[in-house]
Each structure stands twice: as C-alpha cells, then as structure tokens.
Structure 1
Amino acid sequence: MSAPEARGFRAPRREILAWAMYDFANSGYTTVVLTAIFNAYFVAVVAGEGADGNGAGTLLWTVALGVSNLVVLVSAPVIGAIADHRASKKRFLALTTLGCVVATALLGFVDSGDVALAMLLVGVATFMFSSGENLVAAFLPEIAPARDMGRISGYGWSLGYVGGLAVLGACLAYITWAESQGQNATQYVPVTMWITAAVFGLAAAPTFLWLRERGVRQAMAPREGYVAAGFARVRRTLAEARRFRDLFRFLLSLATYYCGINTVVVLAAVYAQQAMGFGTQETIVLILVVNVTASVGAFVFGHVQDRLGSVRTLGATLLLWIAALVLAFFIESRSAFWVVANMVGLALGASQSAGRALIGQFAPPDRAAEFFGLWGLAGKLAAVIGPLVYGGITYASRGDHRLALLSTALFFIAGLLLLFGVDEDRGRAAARAGP
C-alpha cells in the first residue's frame, strides 16, 4: 500500500479492535507491576523500607526503571527503523510480548531481600514492555486516517485502562481472599504477578491474529546489515529536523511533560502508602478508580481533540496535571487525596492519548515505526529522568514524598511552555509531503 493510500485508509473494525486489544493486554503490567502492587511491594518488602524509611528503597526502584528505560532510549529508534526496513513490526512485537510475559511471571519468585534479582527482572520486563508499546503504536498510521487518529488512539487508551482495571480487580479479589486466609504480602503478591502475565499473553492473541502488517520490505544496499540500515535511517531522520521541525519541537515538549507522567505512574502507590498512609487494599481500590477516570479521559478527550485539535487538547490536560499536583502538595486528608487522584486520572488518559495521536499525524506512513521509535526515545528519556529526580529528592530529603511530588509539577509547566511552539497544521503537511 502506498503512503497516500495508507494516509486515507481506515482498517476494518475487527482490525482496529485487534490493535486496541494490545493496549488492553499490556495495561495489566503497567497497572499491577509499575503502579499499584509490585512497586510498593519492592520498596516495603523486597528492599525492606518501612513507612518511616529513609527513601533508599524508593531510590533503588527508580534506578531499576531508569537503567531499563535508558536501554530503551538507545534502542527504540533503531528497532523502529529496522522494523520498517524489514516490514516486521509484528514479529518484533511478538518477541517483546513474550519477553515481558516471561519476566513478569518470574517476578513471582522474588522474595524479601532479593533486591538485585527484582531489579534485573523489572528491568527486563520494562524494556520488553516499552519496546512493544512503541511497535504497536507504529501501526496507528496504517489503520487510521489522520482525521480519525485522535478518536482511534483514544479508543485504544480507553480500552487499555479497562484492561488495567480488569487485571487489578482480579488481583484485588485474590488479595482480599488471601488476607482473609491469614496470608501476607510475600504469599499473595507472587500470585498477582502470575495473573498479570497470563492475562497479558491471552489478551494479546487477537492482535497477532487479526492485525495486518502493511509495511513493504525495502531492498538492502550491498553488504549492509539491518542494524547499520537502522542507524542510517535514524541519522537521516535527525538530519531532517528542519523539515520535521514541529515533530521535533513536540518531541521535546513530550519528553519534558512525560518526566512527570512517568514519575506519577511508577510511584503513585509508593506515595499513597508512604505519604498518605494507605494500606495495600485501599491503594489498589484507589488505582482501580483512577483507571476508570483515566479511561473516561482517554475516550472523551480523544473525541475532543479531533474537533478542537491535538495541541489545544493537550495543553488543557497539562493545565489539569499542574493543578492536581499543586493541590496534592497541600492536602492532608485522604478524602481530598481521592479527588486529586481522579483529576490525575482524567489528565493521564487524555494526555497519553493526545500525544500518541499527534505523533501519528506528524509521521510519514512509510516510516511510522521509525518515528514512533523517536516517540519511544523521548518517552523513555523522560522515564529515566523523572523517576530518578523523584527518587533523588526523596532520598536527599530523608523521605519527604510531598516535596518530591511538588517538584514533578515543574515538568508539566515546562512541557506546556514548549508546546506553544508546535504548529499542528504545518506538522501534518510535512508528513504528507514526499521524500
């Protein structure tokens, strides 16, 4: 399929559902491992940091994620370029899915004190998850025309939050039963890892059954390997920064505000337990409710951005982020924290959906995986910086999570200021133009 045809083509509903089902499948990993259960378990049990800890466990958790995302940062553009060159996005996606499922299942064998093993497995699982996230996003320009990207991206994010909700709900049901039987976290947390891995593998099946690979394999130069070709294409893309100036401006904005998003995602449960005194079950219920509001935010704002524009919609969500984090610094009561958490949920779903759709609009269809690799690069640079800044501030302040969370609002303020320089119409025109 030629690039112009791909730009105006909309895939059948079954194929769009298959694409969106991957968001449903992989969201359990984000929700259970990174956001709600294993992160808090790692800090409190594996690393042994109690409620009055000095922040060392939090710092180790952020280091594990930072190293993993640093590897993604280096590899994502090259993997994307190679996948485009070989027309093999689906094959790469299968490998990363298998890797994340296996590493997540192995987390079930981590016990108290197994800090190095836990950090290694989380690092591998997060690398596989993040690489797969970039690859499946690269299918978006192949299944949706520019006018529908916001809606379909929002549909995927919304379904993803439903998936995270379903997996976390199943884990909560099991934890409630296990605690009624007198079990503690070292007994029931491993089972939640196995539930998460199983749902990921099963729910991803429709993606591999129905989603088509529409890329066209490109001829290789004599004696040129795929890795060399991948690096060459990335260098070419970076050299074309003037032509795709709105894409690169937006990537800079995205990398900045994603520092805040990644921090909140991977440290929400830690903050709830360490700063607000939430227990395990209460934290899981909180994350469940936030997943509902995030799903609503992704769905509603996905429709809004197709009418209002992605840049304006994204700007509104960043303002919501800033307001929520400033309020979180001042509140003391749990009831007020519930309000702030749901503000974060709405902003989270909307900002992630809008960002992916905008990259899809700015990417030439025949180089989608390459450009979404750059999206992965920006996002993972943020995933290195944001959590490490939070962990560093927490450690330096002897466990002051409130101060660390307030500092996160600065990323959203800077990202909003950088967003003002992005011209949406000009960026789409550059993507439509020929080589």
Structure 2
Amino acid sequence: MAIETKTEGARTSRLAIGGWMLFDWAAQPLFTVITTFIFGPYLVSRLTEDHAAGQAAWSYTLTISGIIIALLSPVLGSIADATGRRKPWIGGFAIIQILSLAALWFAVPGSSLVFALTMIVLASVAAEFSIVFNDSMMPRLVPPQEAGRISNIAWGLGYLGGMIVLIAVVALLAGNPETGKTALGIEPLFGLDPATGDDARVTGPISALWYLVFILPMFLFTPDQARGLPIRAAVTSGMSELKSTFRELKARPGILRFLVARMVYQDGVNGLLALGGTFAAGMFAWQTLELGIYGIILNVVAIGGCLYASRLDTRLGSKTVVMASLFCLLIATIGIVSTGPGFTLFGLIPLPTADSGGLFGTAAEKAYILYGLLVGVAFGPVQASARSYLARSIAPEEAGRYFGIYALTGRATSFAAPLSVALVTSATGSARAGMAMLVIFLAVGFLAMIRTPYPAYRLQGN
C-alpha cells in the first residue's frame, strides 16, 4: 500500500518512507550512547578533575555546538531549497560525523580533553545539520494528516535503535569495574578493559558504523527533490529567500509563536537530555553498566511513548501532545534536581540511605529512575510532534528554509541552558543548583505554548 502525497500528486511508496524513517534509527545512537548515557558521563567522570568541573566543561562544549548550529542551519536550509537536492548535503556531513565519532576511541583517561570535546562538537554539528535536510524532506513524502503519525513512529524507531546499541554495550562490552563481568555475567568482548574506559570509548566507533550502515536505505530508496540551481547561484538565492522568510514570519503568527515557544522549551529539553546522565553519574557514582541499563529503561518507555503519541497526534493535534509532554518533563526535572542520597522533593520526603546491594541499590536511585520514566515517556513526543506541527504548516517548496529556522529556534539560544547550568555549577560548586536552571526553561516554554494556535494543514493559511 502506498501513501499518496497530495502536494505532489504522486504516490510515495512505503519503502521510500521507510528509508526516510530509518534515518532516525541511524542517527539516534549518537544522542543515546554518546551524548547522554555512556560517553558523556565517561568524559565528565574520567577525563576531568572533578564532577562539577567536568559538567561545566561538557556544558560549555554543548554551548559551542549550539551556537554553530544556530548560526548556520537556516542558511544551509535555504541553500538546500535552492539547490533542490538534500542527499548530497546529508552525505557530506555523514563523512564528518562518522570520522569524528570513530576518533572518540582515542579519548583514553589522561589524554587531551580538548581533543575529545572537539570531536564531540564536530559530530554534533554534522548530525544536526543532517537532521535539517532529512526533516525538510518530510513534507514531500507525507501528507499533512499523516505527518504526526509518521514523525512519532520514526522517532520511536530512533529510540529502538539507540536502545539496541545500549543493550549491546551493557550486555556484551561494558564490564563492572569490581567484577570485570558484563550484565550477562561474561567477560567483555574483544578484551575491553573498563579500567581504561574501553567500554565507554568503543561507543564512538560503534555509533559511527551504525550510522554508516543504516543511512544507506534513505540514499537508496527515498526520492530526492529534483536538481535546482548550481551551488553558487543557490547561495545567493538561498540567502535572499532566508531574508524574505524572516520578514514573512510576521504575517504567519501561528508559526512565529510556535517557533518562539520552541526556542525556549527546547533549550530545557536539550539540557535535560545532555546532562541528565552526567548528573546521575556524579551524584550516585554510576558507571557505564548502571548508566547503560538506565538508558535502556528510558528508551523502552520512550518507544511506547512515541507509539502512543503517534495516535494522539492524529486525534488531538500536535499542540496537545507537545504540551502534555512538556508538563511531564517539567515534573520530572523538578523531581530529578530535588533528589539526592537520603531524600527527594528537596527533603520533604526522606529516604533510607541503606544500600540493598546490586544495581540501583539505594532508595534515592530508585526515585531517580522513577522520575526518569517520565522523561522517557515525554522526550520523544515533544520533539516528534513539534516536527509534525511545522510539517503540517508549510508547503514542500519552503521546507528547507523553514526547517532551517526550526533548527535555529531549537539552537538559537541553546547555549543559554547549558551555559546557565555551567555558570551556576561553577559559581556554587553544586551540580544540583546548576541542573535546577533547566526547570525555568521548561516552565517558560510551557507557558508560551498555551497561546500558540493549533497548526493548520499546509496551504490553508497559518
């Protein structure tokens, strides 16, 4: 069965849409095992002097990445509209991403922190630019009424891919520092030694290989737009179109309000995803095994959240899904920053400090995981339904520049959240106080979304 794309008058095959959806599957391990659960916490805990300094360095790195992405994403999106084709751009950035991720294997304890952080910046920037071009293909592949369902399912596939890589790491590669055994009770494959960070560093090459293999269906089966202007003319045309788009936004208040709201709340979402694992690693001294299992739990919940949201988006609209997800993230973040050894909710609920042994042996760790489940339910739908909101509201021929601006609003102030966390952490010496800054971004974004209208189907007015 094929899905008819109304704007094109052609039929887009399931194979073509499946190839497009597999991009999320290919890209997700970078965010799951590198940024959030494995390599990021390893960098903070093993390549820096102390947890607070490590969290600050990691936050400054995210700030640099965010600034680069914010400045260049709209420009590249507009140029892509003019050149027409998206795949050459995705292929070029894939080379940068794959090489940078593979190089993380050399980030051994005692090696240059600057080198590791530089590779993270390159991989993150290349990944985000590729996402702009991939997302901008959606309006030509999917009719507006299907955008929410397809977007959420694709996001769920991404989490499934990330979870599979996480399972492979904790079951086959990550040894417990005390026993030397993996979660399956076996010796780590390939003789990986947790004492030298092998189990964390190997996630770089694994993510690179995963991305290389699973972006191929998109290149093979998903149709690209017809070739447009030559690159030199496209740069001139794209810059002109970008200026026109910013002026045009004044006449499209629905989209403008949505982009402003997203600019604020996405800062909090990005900060929570990037720093949640490092915060837990510092507070509970979780190692690769604990962080990996925690990540698997969250990804299982995230897959279910995306699948359920794919139906809700169709029935209730993108705005409802985004707001419900933001509410869950707000409650979860308050719970996370209010939890420590022996307490939760800032001490209103005392918890026993006894360790029952095994993984997550203290009551505080169990409470942290409970709050993490709320994060898992919400952080996929809040992003997937935002993507479908925009896809429903624009025409295919303007998708590149609008998804470029979409990336801009997701990153324009993205330095603000990690920078706030870094500055407060550095000033107070408290990672908890720094993480509390994320509550502000989520709360303000939630309030801004209240006045944002539901998206109109594209070409019906905005």
TM beyond 0.5: yes
Superposed CA deviations along residues 282-323 of structure 1, whole A, max 9, x for unmatched, are 111001110111111112112101110111221111111111
For 1:69 and 1:141, the matched residues in 2 are separated by: 25
Q: Give the TM-score of the pair, scaled to structure 1.
A: 0.92
Query: Paired residue for 1:293?
Result: 301
For 1:322 and 1:56, the matched residues in 2 are separated by: 26
Question: For the Cα contact (< 8 Å) 1:260–1:408, is it kept in 2?
Answer: yes
For 1:17 and 1:130, the matched residues in 2 are separated by: 20
SS in 2 for 1:342: helix
Deviation of 1:433 (Å): 5.5
**Structure 1 residues 287, 9: closer, same or farther in 2, change over 3 A?**
farther
For 2:337 and 2:406, the matched residues in 1 are separated by: 30
Task: Pick from 194, 206, 217 the counterpart of residue 195 of structure 1.
Answer: 206
Query: Paired residue for 2:77?
Result: 80
For 2:399 and 2:124, the matched residues in 1 are separated by: 22
Kindly report the root-mean-square deviation, in angstroms, between the aligned alpha carbons of the 2 structures.
Answer: 2.0
Amino acid at match of 2:94: T
Deviation of 1:185 (Å): 4.0
For 2:269 and 2:450, the matched residues in 1 are separated by: 19
**Structure 1 residues 74, 344: closer, same or farther in 2, change over 3 A?**
same
Gap regions ≥5 residues in structure 2: 182-186, 188-192, 344-363
Matches for 1:43-122 after TM superposition, within 5 Å: 43-49=44-50, 53=51, 55-111=52-108, 112-122=110-120
Query: Paired residue for 2:254?
Result: 246
**Structure 1 residues 177, 243: closer, same or farther in 2, change over 3 A?**
same
Question: For the Cα contact (< 8 Å) 2:323–2:446, is it kept in 1?
Answer: yes
Superposed CA deviations along residues 271-292 of structure 1, whole A, max 9, x for unmatched, are 1111233232111100111011
Q: Are 1:405 and 2:441 matched, yes or no? A: no
Deviation of 1:432 (Å): 4.1
Higher helix share: 1
Amino acid at match of 2:405: L
Query: Paired residue for 1:173?
Result: 171
For 1:8 and 1:382, the matched residues in 2 are separated by: 39
Query: Paired residue for 1:392?
Result: 423
Deviation of 1:7 (Å): 6.6
Amino acid at match of 2:399: A
Question: For the Cα contact (< 8 Å) 1:390–1:404, is it kept in 2?
Answer: yes
Question: For the Cα contact (< 8 Å) 2:174–2:200, is it kept in 1?
Answer: no
For 1:417 and 1:256, the matched residues in 2 are separated by: 10
Gap regions ≥5 residues in structure 1: none
Query: Paired residue for 2:31?
Result: 30
For 1:185 and 1:298, the matched residues in 2 are separated by: 37
Size of the alignment, in residue pairs? Answer: 421
**Structure 1 residues 341, 7: closer, same or farther in 2, change over 3 A?**
farther
SS in 1 for 2:213: helix
Amino acid at match of 2:199: Y
Matches for 1:162-241 after TM superposition, within 5 Å: 162-177=160-175, 179-180=180-181, 183-215=194-226, 217=228, 225-241=233-249
Query: Paired residue for 1:418?
Result: 448
**Structure 1 residues 10, 423: closer, same or farther in 2, change over 3 A?**
farther
Question: For the Cα contact (< 8 Å) 1:10–1:145, is it kept in 2?
Answer: no
Of 401-410 and 128-137, deviating more is 401-410
Amino acid at match of 1:13: R
For 1:176 and 1:121, the matched residues in 2 are separated by: 22
For 1:185 and 1:381, the matched residues in 2 are separated by: 37
Matches for 1:332-347 after TM superposition, within 5 Å: 332=343, 333-347=364-378
**Structure 1 residues 214, 5: closer, same or farther in 2, change over 3 A?**
farther
Q: Are 1:356 and 2:357 matched, yes or no? A: no
Report the identity percentage: 24
For 1:173 and 1:312, the matched residues in 2 are separated by: 38
Amino acid at match of 2:370: V
Q: Give the TM-score of the pair, scaled to structure 2.
A: 0.87
Question: For the Cα contact (< 8 Å) 2:417–2:437, is it kept in 1?
Answer: no
